[in-house]
Structure 1
């Protein structure tokens, strides 16, 4: 017999029984550094526990983060960044009309949107990009 360590059955669990995975969408004004602050989690801290995973996505699709909960208390949570992805890229030319109207994905809340150059959403909640492009064309024609 060997003295090498072996995993005990009671320490072998289905992951879903041991931790939760949350998906969070934040507004554009929220920066990656903001979600790392313990007080950012104030309103949901009671739902979290150590080892929970949190996926954070920003409405503008500029970045995405994966976090693990390290500690929780009544007014906050300490999280650690596991991964951060910069998703900002060059916009496709077929998504714009003129200098001020564009089609953009604005996250799972607003979905596909027609937005002005200043970021104001003119029409949101569109289910797919083709519908958004058609809406963009219609709005551009209304403006003429």
Structure 2
């Protein structure tokens, strides 16, 4: 049996382990964030056991990573967990426009369904739903 853990072998995680919140540019893939060179610009900040919470800008996805090793221009990471956030979508069908969550920077947006054009962004969920309805009313009035 192992010896009981001594208090000097334990500490608050906040003091020993850094956690980063990262929002990659739209178009970045899950494979991209696993490439050690992808982290080259922030590699000097990362240390072994640092955690990185990646929130994708263009899709409802969060991936938690842990740094296994790093150097001046690279960081090796592994996936700890993957969260599908697609359940965080606005309810309802607004016909030609939809309210859609697009990540921490764009937040809730109003998008035209026909071509995916972003009509308005940076909204709360409630505001995006209301704006989508307004765009629909404007469209109907113009027809």
Output the TM-score relative to the length of structure 1.
0.84
In the alignment, structure 1 segments of 5+ residues that lack a partner are none
**2:112 aligns with one of 113, 116, 126:** 116
Separation in structure 2 between the aligned mates of residue 90 and residue 45 of structure 1, nearest angstrom: 32
Give deviations 1:74-129, integer Å, cap 9, x for gaps.
111000111113334696651x422x311001111111110122332110111x22
Match of 2:55 in 1: 57
Separation in structure 2 between the aligned mates of residue 81 and residue 35 of structure 1, nearest angstrom: 10
- What SS is found at the alignment partner of 1:26? coil
Deviation at 1:36, TM superposition (A): 0.5
Separation in structure 1 between the aligned mates of residue 20 and residue 43 of structure 2, nearest angstrom: 12
Alignment of 1:127-138 (within 5 A): 128-138=124-134
The answer to which structure has the higher helix fraction is 1
Match of 2:68 in 1: 70
Task: Specify whether residues 138 and 69 from structure 1 end up closer, same or farther in structure 2 by C-alpha distance, changes over 3 A only.
Answer: same
Deviation at 1:4, TM superposition (A): 4.2
Separation in structure 2 between the aligned mates of residue 68 and residue 85 of structure 1, nearest angstrom: 15
What number of residue pairs does the alignment pair up?
139
Match of 1:79 in 2: 77
Output the TM-score relative to the length of structure 2.
0.84
Task: Specify whether residues 91 and 132 from structure 1 end up closer, same or farther in structure 2 by C-alpha distance, changes over 3 A only.
Answer: closer
